[in-house]
Amino acid sequence: MSGTKGIGRLDALGFAKEATRGTAISAATYWVPFNDLGFDEKFENAVKDQAFGVIENSVGQSRVKNWAEGTFKVPMIDQSIGLLFLSLFGAQASATHSGETTVFDHTFTVGESAQHQSLTFFVHDPTGGTDYSYANGVIHKMEIDAEVKKFVEISLSAKSFKGAAQSAFTPALLTENYFIAQYLTFKYATTVSGLSGATAIALRNIKISIDEDVEDQDVLGSNSPADFLNKEFKVSGTLEAIFQNLTDFKSVSIATPNVPQAMQIAIVNTDVNIGVVPSHPSVIITLDQVYFTELAIKRTPKDIVYQTLKFEGTYSTTNSEMIKIVLTNTVSGAYA
């Protein structure tokens, strides 16, 4: 059977914030460039495997569940990424950036509920010939990955209701600002207030993983989940840096008792001015209370000695917070 053949570069991914949870929005607020897209229909069958007087293993199957699930990777860009942060974190506050009138700070914090913001996902598929929208989409896992000489990348895992076929979309991507790893500054200190005066440490790479452990709300009377509910909110990560002294990481990692640290990853696109101060597109990630869990120093005769450090975020009862992200861009007001 012949058909339309194409490459993934022709497809498009979009999303929009839902006003009513599970009710699809008709058009995407943002279409975004992607590096990888593996989001599609999923289904489960119940097998009729009872005894029927024959040795064959079953006499049929019945569909018992339909939903959509998958992953996608997108570059970190300064406007559309806010909706993905909102879906994952669940709470936001927006304010005018200091000294500006058209630049805004959007602060994303963990919403203390089992239902974080839902999105409608949109997939434009000229190869398959049919476009789809996916209601009640939730981001349940995000990895922020910065590596030298590369764009900062975000990998996401998502779920939604089964897709609904739509007339062909006409995707239009905004001109957004990108972030490369060279824009990143890393600091840690014993308190969040101490981060501003802390010495920056040069890294080779860093990955932050955020997981909110989503569970399908499967119910009787329907082959579609009623919802997707987030449970425990967890943060962990790994970083790599050259090994040049004990004070960067080793001393604090092996100290007894193990003293928690505040950590900040600031990614500021200093090549672009979006205000008058001047102000720059930025993503500032603050972890209030981090514990270092593993340190490995690799030594080989011909190579530079590097150290790899693993860490886990915990909730600070002093600050009433585990993690927050401040996104600075020109999107006016809260993400809607």
Which class for 159: exposed (0-12), middle (13-18), buried (19 or more C-beta within 10 A)?
buried
- Tell me whether residue 317 is in a domain: yes
Q: With respect to residue 176, please indicate whether it lies within any of the assigned structural domains.
A: yes
Is 278 within the bounds of a domain? yes
Q: Is residue 334 part of a domain?
A: no
Does residue 3 lie within any of the structural domains? no
**What is the per-residue DSSP string for 213-244?**
--EEE--TT-SS-SEEE----EEEEEEEEE--
What is the three-class DSSP state of 250? Answer: helix
Q: How many domains does the chain have?
A: 1
Task: Say what the pLDDT of residue 3 is.
Answer: 56
Q: Is the previous residue joined to 260 through a cis bond, with omega within 30 degrees of 0?
A: no
In a domain, 335, yes or no: no
Domain presence at residue 180: yes
Q: Taking Cα atoms as reference points, which of 121, 95, 126, 119 lies closest to residue 332?
A: 95
The residue type at 63: R
Residue 88 lies in a domain: yes
Q: Please state, in angstroms and rounded to a whole number, the distance separating the CA atoms of residues 77 and 80.
A: 7
Across the chain, which has 336 residues, the per-10-residue mean pLDDT values are: 70 96 97 95 94 91 96 97 97 97 97 97 89 97 97 98 94 95 97 97 97 96 97 98 95 94 98 96 98 95 95 98 98 86
Which residues span the domain enclosing 259?
A: 8-47+60-329
Token representation of residue 259 = 């003293």
pLDDT confidence of residue 1: 46
What span, in angstroms and rounded, lies between the C-alpha atoms of 150 and 195? 26
